[in-house]
Structure 1
Amino acid sequence: MILYPAIDLKDGQAVRLVHGDMDRSTVFNDDPAAQAQEFVAAGCEWLHLVDLNGAFAGSPVNAAPVEAILKSCKVPAQLGGGIRDMQTIETWLDKGLARVILGTVAVENPDLVREAARAFPGQVAVGIDARNGFVATKGWATETNVQAGDLARSFEDAGVAAIIYTDINRDGAMGGPNIEATAALARAVSIPVIASGGVSSLDDLIALGDTGVIEGAISGRALYDGAIDLAAALTALRG
């Protein structure tokens, strides 16, 4: 199972939110590129980046720190937040991003996801952010009546590289991931599923891996707070 250290970008800084609330943010690093380099030095294989401002604005806002990370780090990175048209997708991939994450448009314009997945094989993921099983969009601010499982299954034949499933109620709260719901989603589709939200200990990571169906896990606050030692976690997951 791949561990993805998360760098959430708000106003040019690396932050973490609680339950996706922009008013409940903690700044962990004023230099996101330096933070990314720390994660790479610890041995991570991927980076997970989120443009929080972009998710609300509907277009990239924190492009400068993302570009700085891409220039200074040699591991592949995936990015979500404000990516809602083909031009933005192409621009980011041309800048060296390994994978774009499409969230809001997966609900509002699923044909774009399919078009992008065909045009850029292996480089398009779907972000499914759910609160109580129902998908939320536009930076988690808009509730929908779309169930997470139904949305995931709708892309079964689209050729997307992965699904990033976030339980919003768990995100940033250090209360543990929703292993049951994430594993159920992973069993419902053939698309690789990456767990996000609430990963707060090495035991959480091991439990996710022990399901045998979850391909990866994203962790943010636990790495910044020191609850998870990244180098030790990577060793444990590989061993």
Structure 2
Amino acid sequence: MILYPAIDLKDGQAVRLFKGEMAQATVFNDDPAAQAEDFVRAGCEWLHLVDLNGAFAGTPVNATPVEAILERCKVPAQLGGGIRDMATIERWLSRGLARVILGTVAVENPALVREAARAFPGQVAVGIDARKGRVATKGWAEETDVLATDLAKSFEDAGVAAIIYTDINRDGAMQGPNVAETAALANAVSIPVIASGGVSSIADLEALKSCGAPLNGAISGRALYDGAIDLAEALAVMRA
């Protein structure tokens, strides 16, 4: 399994939110690219980036720090937030991003996801963010009646590279991931699933590894910044 350290970008800074609330943001680094370099030096093989402002605006906002990360770090990075048209997808991939994450448009314009996955094999992921099993969009501000598992199944034949599944109520709360729902989603589809939201200890990573589903990896943010997870130990656990 792959450990994806998260760098969430708000107003050009690396922050973490509490349960997706923009008003409850904690700034952890004024230089996101330096933070990314720290993760890479520690041995991380991927980076998970989120343009939080972009998720609300519907268009990229934190392009400058993302581009700095891509320039200074030579490991693959995936990015979500504000990517809602083919031009934006093409622009990010041409700038060295390894994978775009499509969230809101996966609900509102699934045809775009399919078109992008055909055009850029292996470089398009779907972000499914849910509260109590139902998908939320537009920076988690709008809730839908769409079930997370139904949305995931609808892309089975689309050729997407991965699904990033986030339980919003666990995100940034340091209360552990929703292992049962993540495993259920992963077992319901053949698409690789990455767990996100609430990963706050080595025990959480071990629980995801032994959940009975073939997870691709797990995303962790606040626990890495707070020191609740030792990065070297976490990488060793994930690679074992």
Matched, 1:146 2:146: yes
State the 1:237 CA deviation. 1.7
The residue aligned with 1:233 is 234
State the 1:115 CA deviation. 0.1
State the 1:150 CA deviation. 0.3
Percent of pairs identical after alignment?
81
Partner SS, residue 223 of structure 1: helix
The within-5 A match list for 1:109-128 is 109-128=109-128
- The separation in 1 between residues aligned to 2:86 and 2:238, in whole angstroms, is 35
Partner SS, residue 224 of structure 1: helix
- The separation in 2 between residues aligned to 1:74 and 1:115, in whole angstroms, is 28
Matched, 1:223 2:221: no
Retained in 2: the 8 A contact 1:152–1:189? yes
State the 1:210 CA deviation. 1.1
The residue aligned with 1:173 is 173
* TM-score for both structures, normalised by structure 1: 0.99
- The separation in 2 between residues aligned to 1:85 and 1:168, in whole angstroms, is 24
- The separation in 2 between residues aligned to 1:164 and 1:13, in whole angstroms, is 23
State the 1:213 CA deviation. 1.7
User: What whole-Å deviation, never above 9, does each CA across 1:83-104 have from its counterpart, x for those lacking one?
Assistant: 0000000000000000000000
Partner SS, residue 144 of structure 2: strand
- The separation in 1 between residues aligned to 2:78 and 2:43, in whole angstroms, is 17
Amino acid at match of 1:122: G
- The separation in 2 between residues aligned to 1:137 and 1:213, in whole angstroms, is 26
The residue aligned with 2:204 is 204
- The separation in 2 between residues aligned to 1:236 and 1:25, in whole angstroms, is 29
- The separation in 2 between residues aligned to 1:232 and 1:208, in whole angstroms, is 15
Retained in 2: the 8 A contact 1:9–1:49? yes
The residue aligned with 1:52 is 52
The residue aligned with 2:104 is 104
Partner SS, residue 23 of structure 2: strand
Partner SS, residue 37 of structure 2: helix
- The separation in 2 between residues aligned to 1:128 and 1:80, in whole angstroms, is 11
- Calculate the aligned-residue CA RMSD, in Å: 0.5
The residue aligned with 1:62 is 62
Amino acid at match of 2:113: V
Amino acid at match of 1:142: E
State the 1:18 CA deviation. 0.3
Partner SS, residue 111 of structure 1: helix
Where do 5+ consecutive residues of structure 2 fail to align? none
The residue aligned with 1:38 is 38
- The separation in 2 between residues aligned to 1:155 and 1:41, in whole angstroms, is 35
State the 1:233 CA deviation. 0.8
- The separation in 1 between residues aligned to 2:33 and 2:238, in whole angstroms, is 25
Partner SS, residue 100 of structure 1: strand
State the 1:236 CA deviation. 2.0
- The separation in 2 between residues aligned to 1:5 and 1:19, in whole angstroms, is 17
Where do 5+ consecutive residues of structure 1 fail to align? none
- The separation in 2 between residues aligned to 1:155 and 1:73, in whole angstroms, is 31
Retained in 2: the 8 A contact 1:209–1:215? no
Runs (4+) of structure 1 exceeding 2 A deviation are none
User: What whole-Å deviation, never above 9, does each CA across 1:82-131 have from its counterpart, x for those lacking one?
Assistant: 00000000000000000000000000000000000000000000000000
The residue aligned with 1:157 is 157
The residue aligned with 2:130 is 130
- The separation in 2 between residues aligned to 1:166 and 1:199, in whole angstroms, is 11
- The separation in 1 between residues aligned to 2:51 and 2:107, in whole angstroms, is 19
- The separation in 2 between residues aligned to 1:174 and 1:208, in whole angstroms, is 15
- The separation in 2 between residues aligned to 1:236 and 1:142, in whole angstroms, is 36
The residue aligned with 1:195 is 195
